[in-house]
Amino acid sequence: MKKLLLLLLLTRGAATVPGNPEVFPPEGAVLLLKDTSQVTLRWKLPRGAFTAELWSQGNKQLETRLTEAGWTVPVQKGRSYGWILRNSGGIYRQGRFGVAGEMSFAANGRDGAPGRPGPAGGPGQPGTNGGQLEAELQRDEAGMHLRIRAQGQNLHYLFVDPGVRFQIAAKGGNGGDGAAGDDFRGYRAALGHDGGAAGWGGSLKVTTYSAPWRQYLDVDLTPGRPGSGGKGGQYYVSGSQIATAPDGRDGKKGQGGRVDTRLSQRSHRPAMGFLEQGPGLADGLLGSLGSAQGFLDTVQSQ
């Protein structure tokens, strides 16, 4: 209770959005837990006898007969879970959630390949730029939601423990190093090859609803490292006189990315499609929320 009150105080100025206060955790959400190894599932239930089941990785983990509208269950980071409520009529309600293994999301650029050595050597390849990300921080009855759109993924996280910070990175890729010049194959072959250019940092658009996003997010949009020029090789000037060819040039430096903040005072259903796509939105992070639906579908007939 103290943790919940602290979290509410940190975000007391945040607007609320429509949600489903009858169920916790929200459908498809990936929970951000700092030190906690358990979660309390909560429902608003009518009168009657209910049996609750907790599933993970296709196997039933726990089962209990509910005596109240809450059930505290152990969880592990990096895993997905499904729950089922049954009454005398069969399955009454079901849902699923995940627990984040890492408090981070990255859409970093790729490093450039180094130049090939030998007579056919060449320059280092440039690093690619960091990704273009969108993030939304918004509170509802369940808590503070973080929704991220990037590279075709729609991810939905929920801050549960106070003091949790989430890192979003879109760093530029490093440039590849240039190949060294080839020895004693003439001046041109001895020239060092240029390093690849550094990738630029990506961009992040943050939409908040009076929420202080810097209390929740650490952002890294730094550029990559430029590739080093290859060392010049040796060549004969005349007769037995030996000289060293110039080194290749280092790659071009990249530029850091930028964060654009949009502060909205409106309270509305998220426009990024996360609630509609919630059942599959965490597959990219956990790789197993999709399979959660499979075992829930399987046990419907049991």
State the pLDDT at residue 21.
Answer: 57
State the pLDDT at residue 65.
Answer: 92
User: What are the helix and strand counts (H, E) for the chain?
Assistant: 4, 18
Indicate the pLDDT class of residue 266, thresholds 50, 70 and 90.
low
Longest CA span, the chain:
101
**258 or 162, which is more confident?**
258
Do the beta carbons of residue 78 and residue 100 sit within 8 Å? yes
Tell me the C-alpha to C-alpha distance, in Å, between residue 56 and each of 62, 209, 261.
10, 34, 38
Q: For residues 122 and 152, give the distance between their C-alpha atoms in angstroms, rounded to a whole number.
A: 34
Backbone angles phi, psi at 197, to 5 degrees: -70, 150
Q: What is the token pair recorded at 116?
A: 């090939």
Q: Is the pLDDT score of 6 beyond 80?
A: no
Instruction: Give tens-digit pLDDT for 7-34.
Output: 333 333 333 333 455 789 999 999 999 8
Q: For residues 63 and 56, give the distance between their C-alpha atoms in angstroms, rounded to a whole number.
A: 12
Which domains can be identified in the chain, with CATH numbers? 2-101+279-299 (2.60.40.10), 104-263 (no CATH)
Q: For residues 183 and 140, give the distance between their C-alpha atoms in angstroms, rounded to a whole number.
A: 67
Indicate the pLDDT class of residue 289, thresholds 50, 70 and 90.
very low
Write the burial class of residue 1 (CB in 10 Å: 0-12 exposed, 13-18 middle, 19+ buried).
exposed
State the pLDDT at residue 107.
Answer: 95
If DSSP states are collapsed to H, E and C, what string results for 167-206? EEECCCCCCCCCCCCCCCCCHHHHCCCCCCCCCCCCEEEE
State the pLDDT at residue 19.
Answer: 45
Q: Is the pLDDT score of 243 beyond 90?
A: yes
Closest C-alpha among 211, 245, 212, 208 to residue 230 = 245
Write the burial class of residue 73 (CB in 10 Å: 0-12 exposed, 13-18 middle, 19+ buried).
middle
The percent of residues above 90 in pLDDT, for the chain, comes to: 58
Instruction: Give tens-digit pLDDT for 43-69.
Output: 888 888 899 999 998 899 999 998 788
Mean pLDDT of the residues in the chain: 81
181: left (phi over 0), alpha (psi -120 to 50) or beta: beta
